Structure 1
Amino acid sequence: MSMYEMNCWRTPDLLAKKSEGGIFSEQEIAFIVRSICDRNIDDCQLGALLMSVKLRGMTDGETIALTKAMRDSGTVMSWPIDWPVVDKHSTGGVGDKVSLALAPALAAMGVRVPMISGRGLAHTGGTLDKLESIPGFRASMSEREIYDCIGSVGCCIVGQTADIVPADRRMYSARDVTSTVPSMPLIVSSIISKKAAESLKALVLDVKFGRGAFMKTREEAEKLAQKMVDVGNGVGMRTTALLTTMDVPIGRTIGNALEVREALDCLRGQGPPDLHQLVTSLGGELLYNTGLVESPNDGVREIHEVLVNGAARTTFCKMLQKQGVPAVVAESLCGPTADYQMLPSAKYITPVPAHCTGLLVDVDSLKLAVLSLALGAGRKRVGDPVNHAVGIVLLKVVGERVREGEAWAQLHHDEPLPQGALQEIKQSANIQNTYTFQQVPLIAAKIM
């Protein structure tokens, strides 16, 4: 774009165009994103722009152009041409520790995974918060350090660097205070631009719906998944999405160090079945999309094998050390038998007894997540400290029987329990004396 072309546009004219339902050209969008980064668009104008996009929407072409411009607003990673570089994104859930097992499992298969992750948002946990419960773990790495880790280990799990998609940081901050977070084009471009900046060959999306997800209905999740798949493919990444249910937590743990323990169990081939299914299914899609296997099912079997034979666990141990964890800690956690003494643990463990004998037919993941936040496992505001030790352990999960008075859950806490905490968790469980139970499929659909 020449300087003459850029000078042909005035921000007020572009704001008027979108507010009246007009369609931006690719060049106009590139100009807008550059102006956002350079602060030639002031805060008032940015708020007006975002609100116009929320109200008027964007075409697929506009959303792809916005995603590309955001990607190109900062550093775009570069890899050797023969590296199969992939990543995964989850829209957020309760007890979601999939990334901790998936990244090293893929790396053990020879795939490169520069996984850029985030911290907890609202009631959902953050991958980086979980990993930072491991003594010494460093989520912040330079581009050079990321490249070195990917080259020697095959994977890393890091936070977004200051140079990756800087346009998104300003836009997201403005969205948060202008009630424009729910805008579909803005959600999609924010997510996909950061993945595109990793220069991926393949991306898999875990789009969740249900009580514990941001998308409450399958219809909402399917619409978002299709849009992200279309835009991901439109910017040059082979992208697929799995729609997964989030009415009940993933696995048996909610809370940072507790979830690390469960992820390590998964890396020993011993984790809960739903966690294992998500790791192998998402990994199978990526192996297939990079051409390393002939079908997603073949990929599932390959990921299962590296979880069982210890190859993924060994890779995770190497990754931890590259990211600052002392060898004695990494080797203790990743040994052939479980040793979690190096992880923080809560002062108190309070059992939660069942009020009757029967079948546990439902557990409200959102109520459990909110309670875990109240114990200190997450943040109420950006910058709040996180207690890595606290959380909830489910001794019984949906489909299992429990006796009256038997503990079906544990609260791990460092302070006296918040008022009403025990009553709240008791109300989250539905135990029926007589009930014909039908398991809801974890993976509802695949979007391509």
Structure 2
Amino acid sequence: MIHSLDIILAKRDGHELTTEQIQHLVRTVVLYGEQQLATQRGEMPQPLAPNDRITEAQLGSLLMAIFQRGLTLRETADLTTAMRYSGETFDTQPLHTFSVDKHSTGGVGDKTSLLIAPIVAAAGLEGTPSISVPMISGRSLGHTGGTLDKLETIPSFNTQLSLPQMMQVLRDCHAVLVGQTPRLVPADRILYAMRDHTGTVESPYLICASIMSKKLAEDLNGLVLDVKVGSGAFMPTYEASKYLAELMVSTGEHSGTRTAALLTSMNEPLGRFSGNWVEVWECVDILQGRRHPMSADLITLSNALSGWMLYLAGKSASPEAGAQLADKLLRSGAAYKSWLQLVAAHGGDTSVFTDPVAFHRPTATCVLKARRDGYLVSMDCKQVGWAVQRLGAGRAKPGDAVSVHAGLESHAKIGDRLTAGQPIFTLYSEDESLLNEPYAMLEDTLAIEPHAPKLEPLIREVITSC
């Protein structure tokens, strides 16, 4: 008989956990969560056998033991699998399509999902093989934005679909953009909240299991990962980001899902806008054929990620050919047609796309300008993300409300030559009192120097199992 304390002691002392121990751990975590929910509802929790019990203190101890001791590839795969099947899973088999998704580790202005879903859906509608994109996304937290918050700025857009509703939208549109359902990977919700309170969020093993369990619960045939590197990345170093990418690729391939990871630069906001509605506006402009110079990096990365998805699905002979197909679908208007169909299927009001500028209604703005001539050589992108959050576009903790119209517009990229008085950022908020702190944060982090910096490539490295 397995007990929680035995698992804690084994990992504390550096031993490798068995598959059975890991399965037991995840089962007790789910039971723990169910008891917590019953208590919150004022109900009497169901009594548990002694070996099915785990306390909050024990959970914290176990997470810290994993943080300190790490997990082997086999342990990581076992933990991911146990979490994946800890609740409901999505079944894409009735669709008879190649099911593929994209996941980003999070960044500032990272809105590629809003372009990738309609691009790949448009490709999936044409010829064979047919493709579906069951994209389960998250909300903003900390300095990073959230796809769900952006989508919910579209009037009446419903991101909380049931599994049968998800299936119907996928049948009709070949893509769906939703949040995690209450019964999908419940172990992750419990463990993630506990990690946030125990200082164990940054464990690559726990990050891998968290991300991959949710993605694999979508019943994917293929997965493309966008792992950020640089000052705005979640992981602290390039080496840490690369290790996480390798871990996730290994875990995905172990599960039978073809997986590739792109290490991409996050030393400045991606694209023109950072926020919620403003990012939707930027993507709608691109889908409608309007390409602002500040959006060039966003378009390049979206095409590259879409290209890998199309390549894994057998829709193109190479990732490069897939990227070319993605750009063709953008330029032809096919992706925009898919976008309108997708938004309508989610109950969203597509009329706002007729004039997305008019829908943008911040009540307070200010412009940060260059204080001297020179080149924009660097910024702390994480600091920029926090500035966006302080404008009202993000949340400090789960459950906080976010502003629809708060955000940031970039007028310059790293490497650009600036003259004194030239705009670098425009700040948007729905509360004038929120402008001063973000303005100071942005001004403090910008470095303008006499000489041009050496620029890093947008896509630094690609990790595959080959």
* Equivalence for 2:332: 309
* 1:378-410 CA distance string (max 9 Å, x none): 111221111110111112222333332232321
2:196 is the alignment partner of 1:176:
yes
CA distance in 2, matches of 1:72, 1:393: 42
Q: Which structure features the higher share of helix residues?
A: 2
* Equivalence for 1:427: 444
* Equivalence for 1:50: 63
Whether contact under 8 Å (1:134, 1:342) holds in the other structure is no
2:381 is the alignment partner of 1:368:
no
> How does the TM-score come out when normalised to structure 2?
0.89
Q: Give the C-alpha shift of residue 127 in structure 1.
A: 0.6
Q: Give the C-alpha shift of residue 64 in structure 1.
A: 0.5
Identical amino acids, percent of aligned pairs: 39
Find the residue that maps to 2:143 and give its secondary structure. Answer: coil
Q: Give the C-alpha shift of residue 216 in structure 1.
A: 2.8
Find the residue that maps to 2:207 and give its secondary structure. Answer: helix
* 1:244-273 CA distance string (max 9 Å, x none): 111111012111111111111222342511
- One-letter identity of the residue aligned with 1:386: V
* Equivalence for 1:353: 369
> How does the TM-score come out when normalised to structure 1?
0.93
Whether contact under 8 Å (1:268, 1:310) holds in the other structure is yes
- Larger CA deviation: 278-287 vs 80-89: 80-89
* Equivalence for 1:321: 344
Whether contact under 8 Å (1:120, 1:379) holds in the other structure is yes
CA distance in 2, matches of 1:349, 1:13: 57
* Equivalence for 1:105: 119
2:8 is the alignment partner of 1:15:
yes
Find the residue that maps to 2:220 and give its secondary structure. Answer: coil
CA distance in 1, matches of 2:61, 2:405: 43
Find the residue that maps to 1:265 and give its secondary structure. Answer: helix
* Equivalence for 1:202: 222
CA distance in 2, matches of 1:381, 1:9: 35
* Equivalence for 1:386: 402
CA distance in 1, matches of 2:429, 2:352: 24
Whether contact under 8 Å (1:317, 1:331) holds in the other structure is no
- Larger CA deviation: 97-106 vs 168-177: 168-177
Alignment CA distance shift 1:78-1:402 (3 Å):
same
**Within 5 Å, which residues of 2 pair with 1:22-421?**
22-39=15-32, 40-79=53-92, 80=94, 82-110=96-124, 111-269=131-289, 270=291, 272-326=295-349, 330-333=350-353, 339-341=355-357, 343-418=359-434, 419-421=436-438
Whether contact under 8 Å (1:130, 1:257) holds in the other structure is yes
- One-letter identity of the residue aligned with 1:323: H
CA distance in 2, matches of 1:201, 1:89: 14
* 1:341-383 CA distance string (max 9 Å, x none): 5634201221222212333333432222221111111111221
* Equivalence for 2:36: none
* 1:96-123 CA distance string (max 9 Å, x none): 0110111110000002111000000210
Find the residue that maps to 2:393 and give its secondary structure. Answer: coil
* Equivalence for 1:5: none
Aligned CA RMSD, in angstroms, stands at 1.7
Q: Give the C-alpha shift of residue 437 in structure 1.
A: 4.3
CA distance in 1, matches of 2:83, 2:279: 33
* 1:149-188 CA distance string (max 9 Å, x none): 0000011111000111011111112212122222222111
Aligned positions, number: 433
Whether contact under 8 Å (1:208, 1:246) holds in the other structure is yes
* 1:174-221 CA distance string (max 9 Å, x none): 212122222222111111000110000000110001111111321111
Whether contact under 8 Å (1:134, 1:343) holds in the other structure is no
Q: Give the C-alpha shift of residue 37 in structure 1.
A: 1.2
CA distance in 2, matches of 1:52, 1:141: 36
Q: Give the C-alpha shift of residue 420 in structure 1.
A: 4.7
- Gapped runs of 5+ residues in structure 1? 1-7
- One-letter identity of the residue aligned with 1:20: D
Whether contact under 8 Å (1:266, 1:275) holds in the other structure is no
CA distance in 1, matches of 2:148, 2:422: 34
